[in-house]
Structure 1
């Protein structure tokens, strides 16, 4: 049975009563944004089962969040079905656009609080968190403008008496599974396109970062999102696979949108087979960052690498994983990279405005970084910067690290790090670097720096990835069709193509002959 907690007195019952946690969450000025109940049918729902959310900076407890039961997950799915009929058919595209626009405005008004929530539960520095909130809100703005422009076509028929019309209709209720590294943006990138199309959603956020998703629910309710159109069901890590299975096997949910690892994506793909639902998966990457010797401004390329590789301590899906440097500039680039890192970076508590890089998210992330460094150095790589954990700062801190003399025999060459290591690899010419860069089963993003426009296009076109940054290390924005190829998944998010993932195309053949 669902148990509803009025927002007027629920907050103080839900927050962990420790001095450190209280002082952390007391930074959130808008207390209504601090929610810990599952959001089902327009209400925050509490039950007796809870799981603890900790700050990865020092493992201090932040809050106990409702551990949604499987029956409550099914309730949320059923509510999304009930809400879908009205939301898709009786809410005009302009009305949905107004809701998304209101949602955007509320996010911007609460930007600082939302950023602090992200930093508290994710660990990323405030500057990065503020950037994420702006990025997250931009999807609401973008799809508020796309909603009234979801149009079909009139197609000429071979039969002169017929007309062929196409309609784009909402696919139905959608199940959304999001990761911890962008706890706000990964939600808005999906739900804003779904809402624009007229879909209702049930979201399972990452168990490490549910507070940001629940804060968005509060703003969504204020923005006018109807009850049942948005449901969020946080669960502990152990229950996550079961909820994913329920989503995939539910005949009610007509689509799954998932951002996460390729391994989990394959599991969800198999579990969805019985219902033949629509899928869009944004999975793992192994992004190459290629710098040719003809580049006119090596410093610009260094800055691009730092932005791409070390943002959020390397914990983004489109982070550079392998750095390919042409022989002629290898040493100069390495020297400038190390010098720039020494001069411009500071590791610590993300709430400190002077900090540029925070902790990793958990012990498994730290262990992977340490393993890859140990494996690489045992096989001939050299540490020229960093290389060590920083337990004096907190349990999950690690130095930004640069490795030279990296080669294909090393684990880091083939497997995504999701951490702050830049492995530098030499190459001789275009053919060699394309062969090395494409020697991977995944293909999400890639980066190339060159002053030869012909070579730039050649490499960009032949890289086996879904997105390329050409002379830039920053590519993400709402206008970008975001997605990969090969085992990095399928489907696109954002851009004018993002709505198509949440629609089905219906054809009507009209005979106009009397």
Structure 2
């Protein structure tokens, strides 16, 4: 199924707009070809979207939760009906292997489905009174207009994980997708329109991140910003939110450790490492970035991991047999090359991979395993965001915990051990919001997703995810 090159538009207050604007090219990193354009919107469009969402909030929030569920269920079904179209578009604009893109569309739809149901369970509370003649209650109210700013690496799931709870709780939404992969968001906006969402409830703006973010951070009509991206940008948003005490949900950078203890099932650990590390060519916020293996099984693990990695096929994501697609752009490739070169210059050894691939014409890098790394190397200190697995030898459980926590980030971690006591005690020491125990793929719509330390504020997904979009209002009722 070919993806046509086309001019895509923004949607504000139910109207497709931006025809008169300059455009941004959306480029397929697998071959450098332009697959579409979007308007280069800015402050004007952002203000219009804020006003539209603000005006729509009164009527949308006044609907019953059951009424809002109907719209979300229609959207969920439309996403499943258009799974192939969304997947092909996603692969074309950011290079993800087509089977992963199909999986992401299904995963993205689960957030709409989950929060459609969870919206009916935003319960208030009746509190036993302390005085005769009073009734004490807690009401839950939607926070208001929400701006959702999302990254390029999961262009569908990162939006629905924010849209789902916001819409289900009664908030209205302004979507700002990454300029690297905005086309999937445009298609999702089309599906929202088909699902019949009232004008202004969902709005889409594309273009200048700095100008659009400036508006949503300074406009008092926007009461919450939910953002997935770098810690550096997240810190800027925290500072900008201070003037209005704007509510924030931030899912920021990670540098996930993966620990393999000497009683682990080595084959399972290898399988989990490959699943975590090489998904989306290592360009995920929770992928394993540094691997610590106890010395008794170190050589066996490295050998088996290297053999599995050698089996991975690199190429254009439209090829059904491809496991690893391109990196998002040249900067991403340069970072991966720097990490590997720095490691080898300090004594590490490349077991497999270790080179950029130029024959395809895009920005590809070989799936790579590097052994004998240490903490002095950049690859163990910074998030690589590429298909490189550095493996370091450790002696004990205590060293594993110390090494794993030696980072300002705390998003995800992985532990492989067959011993319940050791696993429990190690995980209790880890400062990470998500832990996969003998599991390289812990994400799901029904669980809380988020980090500790500099990896963010708040949780997305699960019961906690919808609480981020409501306010608790305490009401004390005097009775005669």
Interval of TM-score (by shorter of Structure 1 and Structure 2)? over 0.9
SS of equivalent residue, structure 1 residue 254: strand
- Does the CA-based 8 Å contact 2:234-2:252 persist in structure 1? yes
- Give the structure 1 partner of residue 355 of structure 2: 388
- Give the structure 2 partner of residue 257 of structure 1: 226
Residues 347-405 of structure 1 deviation map (CA, whole Å, 9 limit, x = unaligned): 00000001111000001100100010111111111100100000111231000111001
Q: Is 1:271 the equivalent of 2:244?
A: no
- Does the CA-based 8 Å contact 2:150-2:158 persist in structure 1? yes
- Does the CA-based 8 Å contact 2:4-2:35 persist in structure 1? no
SS of equivalent residue, structure 2 residue 222: coil
Query: Structure 2 CA distance, aligned partners of 1:412 and 1:138?
Result: 34
Query: Structure 1 CA distance, aligned partners of 2:438 and 2:108?
Result: 25
- Give the structure 1 partner of residue 299 of structure 2: 331
- Does the CA-based 8 Å contact 1:167-1:507 persist in structure 2? yes
- Give the structure 2 partner of residue 50 of structure 1: 23
Query: Structure 2 CA distance, aligned partners of 1:435 and 1:462?
Result: 9
Query: Structure 2 CA distance, aligned partners of 1:274 and 1:48?
Result: 31
- Give the structure 2 partner of residue 503 of structure 1: 470
- Does the CA-based 8 Å contact 1:47-1:68 persist in structure 2? no
Moved over 4 A (4+): none
2:102 to 95, 111, 130: 130
Matches within 5 A, 1:280-359: 280-295=249-264, 297-343=265-311, 345-359=312-326
Residues 273-330 of structure 1 deviation map (CA, whole Å, 9 limit, x = unaligned): 11111000000001000011111x2111101000000100000000101101000000
- Give the structure 2 partner of residue 85 of structure 1: 58
Q: Unaligned regions of 5+ residues in structure 1, if any?
A: 1-22, 28-33
- Does the CA-based 8 Å contact 2:21-2:41 persist in structure 1? no
Residues 427-478 of structure 1 deviation map (CA, whole Å, 9 limit, x = unaligned): 1111111011100001000000101101111111211100100110001110
Residue 69 of structure 1, CA deviation: 3.3
Q: Is 1:487 the equivalent of 2:460?
A: no
Matches within 5 A, 1:34-183: 36-45=8-17, 46-89=19-62, 91-183=63-155
SS of equivalent residue, structure 2 residue 472: strand
Query: Structure 2 CA distance, aligned partners of 1:47 and 1:84?
Result: 28
Residues 229-264 of structure 1 deviation map (CA, whole Å, 9 limit, x = unaligned): 1111010xxx21222122111101000000000011
Residue 24 of structure 1, CA deviation: 4.0
Matches within 5 A, 1:352-371: 352-371=319-338
Q: Unaligned regions of 5+ residues in structure 2, if any?
A: none
- Does the CA-based 8 Å contact 1:177-1:258 persist in structure 2? yes
TM-score when normalising by structure 1 = 0.92
- Give the structure 2 partner of residue 15 of structure 1: none
Query: Structure 2 CA distance, aligned partners of 1:411 and 1:505?
Result: 44
Bigger mean CA offset, 456-465 vs 99-108: 456-465
SS of equivalent residue, structure 1 residue 300: helix
Query: Structure 2 CA distance, aligned partners of 1:255 and 1:144?
Result: 20
SS of equivalent residue, structure 1 residue 127: helix
- Give the structure 2 partner of residue 397 of structure 1: 364
- Give the structure 2 partner of residue 458 of structure 1: 425
- Does the CA-based 8 Å contact 2:405-2:430 persist in structure 1? yes
Matches within 5 A, 1:432-447: 432-447=399-414
